[in-house]
Amino acid sequence: MVDARSRLKEVYAHPVGRDAIDKVLLQLGRSRGWVRNPVVANLRLGTVARLARPVLGDGFVSSLVTVLADHDDGAARLDQVGAPAQHAPDGAAAPGGVVLAGAEWWREAVFYQVYPRSFADSDGDGIGDLRGITSRLEHLADLGVDCVWLSPIFDSPNEDMGYDVRDYRAVMAEMGTLADLDELVAGCHERGMRIILDLVVNHTSAEHEWFRAAVADPDGPYGDYYHLVPGAPGEDGSGPPPNNWTSFFGGSAWRWVPEARRWALHLFAPGQMDLNWENPQVRAEVAEIVRWWRGRGIDGFRLDVINYISKRSGLPDGNEAIGRLMGFPGIEHYFFGPHLHAYLAELRQAGFTRRSDDPPPASTARERFADGTLGGPLPPDEAGVMVGETPGVGVEMSRLLSNRSRAELDLVFNFDVLDGPGKVRWDDYRYDLAYLKGFYLDYLARTGPGDAIALFYDNHDNPRMLSKVLGAKDRDPELRAAAAKVLATIQLTLPGTPFLFQGQEIGAVNQEFTSVGDLQDVESRNRYAELCETGLSEAVALAQVLPGARDHARVPMRWEPGLTTGFTAGTPWQTGREDSRGFTVAEQTDDPDSVLTYYRDLIALRRAEPALTRGAFRALAPRSRTYFGWLRTAVGGSADWLIEVNLTSRTIRRPRGVPEAETVFGSPGGPLRATLAPYECRVARLTPGNGRTASAAGDSTGADPASSGVITSWSKMEGWSA
Ligand code: NOJ
Ligand code: MG
Q: What is the pLDDT of residues 406-443, one digit of tens each?
A: 999 999 999 999 999 999 999 999 999 999 999 999 99
- What sign does the dihedral 257-262-263-268 (CA atoms) show? negative
| pLDDT score of 182 more than 70 | yes
Q: Are 630 and 617 in contact (CB under 8 A)?
A: yes
Expressed in angstroms and rounded, the spacing between residue 227 Cα and the centre of ligand 2 is 36
What average pLDDT does this structure show over 641-657?
Answer: 96
Q: What is the pLDDT of residue 82?
A: 65
What 3-state class would DSSP assign to 277? coil
Q: Is 70 a catalytic residue?
A: no
- Rounded Cα distance between 666 and 482, Å, is 10
Min mean pLDDT across 2-6, 155-159, 207-211, 467-471 is at 2-6
- Rounded Cα distance between 715 and 722, Å, is 14
Q: What is the overall mean pLDDT for the chain?
A: 90
Alpha helix stretches (DSSP H) within 534-594: 538-543, 585-588
Q: What is the DSSP letter of 349?
A: I
Per DSSP, what are the bridge partners of residue 645?
Answer: 628, 681
pTM recorded for the entire structure: 0.93
Q: What is the pLDDT of residue 717?
A: 36
Q: Which ligand is nearest to the CA of 462?
A: 1
Task: Grade residue 236 by pLDDT with cuts at 50, 70 and 90.
Answer: confident
Rounded to the nearest 10 degrees, the angle between the axes of helix 477-493 and helix 433-445 is 0
Task: Collect all residues with Cβ–Cβ distance below 8 Å to 21 and sequence separation of at least 6.
Answer: 8, 11, 12, 35
Torsion on CA atoms 695, 696, 700, 706, rounded to nearest 10: 10
Burial of 421 (0-12, 13-18, 19+ CB in 10 A): middle
Task: Grade residue 237 by pLDDT with cuts at 50, 70 and 90.
Answer: confident
Expressed in angstroms and rounded, the spacing between residue 120 Cα and the centre of ligand 2 is 8
Q: What is the pLDDT of residue 2?
A: 86
For strands 154-155 and 262-265, give the pairing.
unpaired
Q: Is 389 a catalytic residue?
A: yes
Q: Which ligand is nearest to the CA of 198?
A: 1
| pLDDT score of 262 more than 50 | yes
Q: Which ligand is nearest to the CA of 123?
A: 2
What 3-state class would DSSP assign to 539? helix
For strands 497-501 and 454-455, give the pairing.
parallel
Contacts 24+ apart (CB under 8 A), 25-33: 26/416, 26/421, 26/422, 26/706, 27/325, 27/326, 27/422, 28/422, 29/421, 29/422, 29/423, 30/421, 31/706, 32/706, 32/708
The 10s digit of each residue's pLDDT in 328-338 is 999 999 999 99
| Shortest-distance Cα residue to atom 3 of ligand 1 | 461
- Rounded Cα distance between 402 and 396, Å, is 10
| pLDDT score of 363 more than 80 | yes
How many CB atoms lie under 10 A from the CB of residue 537? 10
| Shortest-distance Cα residue to atom 8 of ligand 1 | 163
Q: Are 421 and 691 in contact (CB under 8 A)?
A: no
Quote the percentage of the chain above a pLDDT of 70: 91
Q: Distance from CA of residue 439 to its chain's centroid? A: 14
Expressed in angstroms and rounded, the spacing between residue 161 Cα and the centre of ligand 1 is 9
What average pLDDT does this structure show over 126-138?
Answer: 98
How many CB atoms lie under 10 A from the CB of residue 434? 23
Per DSSP, what are the bridge partners of residue 353?
Answer: 383
Ligand 1 binding pocket (C-beta < 6 A) is 160, 163, 200, 268, 304-305, 389, 460-461
- Rounded Cα distance between 547 and 275, Å, is 32
| pLDDT score of 97 more than 60 | no
3-state helix, strand and coil shares in percent for the chain, rounded to the nearest 5: 35, 15, 50
Q: Distance from CA of residue 483 to its chain's centroid? A: 21
Task: Grade residue 79 by pLDDT with cuts at 50, 70 and 90.
Answer: low
Q: What is the pLDDT of residue 74?
A: 58
Expressed in angstroms and rounded, the spacing between residue 130 Cα and the centre of ligand 2 is 8
| Shortest-distance Cα residue to atom 11 of ligand 1 | 163
Q: Are 101 and 449 in contact (CB under 8 A)?
A: no
Domains in the chain, start-ordered, CATH in brackets? 8-72 (no CATH), 105-201+279-587 (3.20.20.80), 205-274 (3.90.400.10), 613-718 (2.60.40.1180)
Q: What is the pLDDT of residue 214?
A: 98
Q: What is the pLDDT of residue 388?
A: 98
Catalytic residue among 389, 432, 458, 578: 389
Which amino acid belongs to residue 269? A
Q: Are 556 and 565 in contact (CB under 8 A)?
A: yes
Which amino acid belongs to residue 470? L
